[in-house]
Chains A and B, each alone.
Chain A
Amino acid sequence: MQPMPEWLLKDEQYLPHRDREAFLNRSILSFLSVLSKGRPRGGKEEGRGRMEPLVKVLAVFTAILLVSLTRSPSFLAMAGTGLLVVLSLQSGERIATVLKTSLAVAVFTVLILLPSAFWGHGSSLVMITAKVLISVTSVKLVAVTTEWASISGAFKRLGAPDLFILVFDIALKYITLLGEFALTMLYALKLRSVGRNAGKTTSLAGIAGTLFLKSKEMAEEMYAAMECRGFTGEYHVGRMLRLGFREVTLGTAIVLLVVTFYFVRA
């Protein structure tokens, strides 16, 4: 083996210089780790509070459709109230998770629409924000209360094409995997960011490049792995549909919503 180079035998006498920007500081990293924590573990389906995913997905789909079509503030108020009732039945922790996302999105919407409000479209600002708030909250609610496997199962029952479900599934797996991978790379960059780094953007571009290659490779590998396990383009779903009290209640609520939508418009 090669002899150890001389510099490697001594302790490094290194005194870092002050850098102007605190690049890659903890706040960026913690922001990213929050992103990758939104891992699609999906929600937990607890025994007691469990509801048929297909009914949930259908209900949310209908509700969002109606909410986005309506022009009536009172209809929105009614849908919002219904949603609040459902939300209040959840545990405090879940409520917090759901509201955190939807409020963030709502604030973002307001910021985007603010200029138009100054031009005299104040009422549309309120309507659109309410619509966004209701839609995001209900989607998020389904997300935290349902395992992803049963959501894709629900899509399957709705007759969604297998390819659509496959894409949906892979996309979900990817978001986390890639998020975690990106985070690890940023950590690696940070660990070696021991001094001045003139080309910070170059380093980040390098990460983005590797990420792209990695995602392409992961897609190919995942497809190959699926083929190895006998995947032929068909998705099989095993469980039977269960309709109980909860499902019927939610179903009735949605029917009521549809009826109201009709009358409010007329």
Chain B
Amino acid sequence: MIQLSGVSYSYGEGDVLSQIDIAIPRGEAVAIIGPNGCGKSTLLKLLNGIVLPREGRYVFDGEEVSAARLNQPLFAKRFHQRIGFLFQNSDAQLFCPVVHDEIAFGPRQMGLSEEAVDRRVEDCLQLLGIGKLRSRVPYHLSEGEKRKVALASVLALNPEVLVLDEPMNGLDPRMKHFLREIILSLNESGKTILCSTHDFKYIDGVFRTALVLGEDHRVARSGPYHEIIHDKTFLRAQNIL
């Protein structure tokens, strides 16, 4: 589904991603792990076409994602519908006057009938248990509420791939458990999940694969989640524990 070969990226001086090779099959659940500043968020931005590789190739479902392709509106729209991104900072992601509109934004653009849009919005509100927030102003919600609204607004597009940047950050334990369940059942229903996180306690049993980025901005290791997460010596050497 997702393939990066020899991808490097830099914001100016020095590579923030260096020679990244990964292949993620459809339906996979991958945890992206690494110390602060190793480039996790940048990698996720790249996967969503927000930044483009300085070097190397990004292939999404058999099609290369490049500046030229993303400049073609039809390709760009379809691509953005198929891959959804939950930002590290939910604030930045919410720009509509009320929660209902925020969630309806995507489906409306897809040209669904107003009836179908309403159904999606209701379904998302119910799924995340935020029916009460329907007519609130997104900006004034609490961190956790914002995260749920942002997730709902992404889910409403029904993306095949879901990219989550530290979704557990700043949430209370109950909310973390809840989010874990949601991620699990999304994955079970066939969605490909990529998620950066530091919260190992709460994501146990969600991921099959782990991808570890090192401080040198390269892939330090990738493989079965359980093997890596129990290799304490390795994790300490990577400054993750």
Q: Is the CB of A8 within 8 A of B189?
A: yes
A7/B158 contact (C-beta < 8 A), A203-B95, A203-B96 known: yes
CA A2 – CA B109 in complex, angstroms? Answer: 26
CA A97 – CA B64 in complex, angstroms? Answer: 34
Q: Is the CB of B185 within 8 A of A196?
A: no
**Residues 87-105 of B contacting A (Cβ, < 8 Å):** 87, 89, 91-97, 105
The yes or no answer to B70 lying at the interface (CB within 8 A) is: yes
The yes or no answer to A46 lying at the interface (CB within 8 A) is: no
The yes or no answer to A25 lying at the interface (CB within 8 A) is: yes
Please indicate the chain A residues that have their CB under 8 angstroms from the CB of B120 in the complex: 5, 7
Number of A-B pairs whose CB atoms are under 8 Å? 130
One digit per residue, 1 when the CB lies within 8 angstroms of any chain B CB and 0 when it does not, for chain A 179-220 equals 001001101111111111100000100110110011000000
Which one of A16-24, A69-77, A223-231, A236-244 contacts B? A16-24
Q: Is the CB of A2 within 8 A of B96?
A: no
One digit per residue, 1 when the CB lies within 8 angstroms of any chain A CB and 0 when it does not, for chain B 185-199 equals 110011000000000
Q: Is the CB of B110 within 8 A of A195?
A: yes
CA A25 – CA B153 in complex, angstroms? Answer: 22
The yes or no answer to A266 lying at the interface (CB within 8 A) is: no
The yes or no answer to B181 lying at the interface (CB within 8 A) is: yes
Please indicate the chain A residues that have their CB under 8 angstroms from the CB of B119 in the complex: 7
Please indicate the chain B residues that have their CB under 8 angstroms from the CB of A188 in the complex: 87, 92-95
Q: Please tell me which one of the listed residues B81, B106, B108, B127 contacts residue A16 in the complex, with CB atoms under 8 A apart.
A: B81
Q: Is the CB of B92 within 8 A of A185?
A: yes
Closest to B45 in A: A187
Q: Is the CB of A191 within 8 A of B77?
A: no
Q: Is the CB of B50 within 8 A of A191?
A: yes
Q: Is the CB of B189 within 8 A of A9?
A: yes
Q: Please tell me which one of the listed residues A181, A193, A207 contacts residue B77 in the complex, with CB atoms under 8 A apart.
A: A193
Q: Is the CB of A191 within 8 A of B48?
A: yes
The yes or no answer to A104 lying at the interface (CB within 8 A) is: no
Q: Is the CB of A192 within 8 A of B74?
A: no
Q: Is the CB of B153 within 8 A of A192?
A: yes
Q: Is the CB of B81 within 8 A of A12?
A: yes
Q: Is the CB of A16 within 8 A of B50?
A: no
**Residues 1-60 of A contacting B (Cβ, < 8 Å):** 1-2, 4-5, 7-12, 14-19, 22, 25-26, 37
Nearest CB of chain A from residue B125's CB, rounded to whole Å = 10
Q: Is the CB of A15 within 8 A of B80?
A: no
Q: Is the CB of A2 within 8 A of B126?
A: yes
**Size range of the chain A interface in the assembly:** 35 or more
The yes or no answer to B139 lying at the interface (CB within 8 A) is: yes
Nearest CB of chain A from residue B47's CB, rounded to whole Å = 11
**Residues 150-190 of A contacting B (Cβ, < 8 Å):** 181, 184-185, 187-190
Q: Is the CB of B126 within 8 A of A16?
A: no
Q: Is the CB of A8 within 8 A of B91?
A: no
The yes or no answer to B241 lying at the interface (CB within 8 A) is: no
The yes or no answer to B123 lying at the interface (CB within 8 A) is: yes
A210/B78 contact (C-beta < 8 A), A18-B73, A194-B157 known: no
**Residues 61-86 of B contacting A (Cβ, < 8 Å):** 67, 70-71, 73-74, 77-78, 80-82, 84-85
Nearest CB of chain A from residue B37's CB, rounded to whole Å = 16
Q: Is the CB of B91 within 8 A of A214?
A: yes
Q: Which 9 A-B pairs have the closest CB atoms?
A: A195-B109, A5-B123, A16-B77, A184-B92, A194-B81, A206-B95, A188-B93, A12-B158, A194-B77
Please list 19 pairs of residues, one from A and one from B, whose beta carbons are closer than 8 Å in the complex, sorted by A's number.
Answer: A2-B126, A2-B127, A4-B127, A7-B119, A7-B123, A7-B158, A12-B157, A16-B81, A26-B67, A187-B50, A187-B92, A190-B80, A192-B109, A193-B77, A194-B106, A195-B111, A203-B96, A206-B95, A206-B96
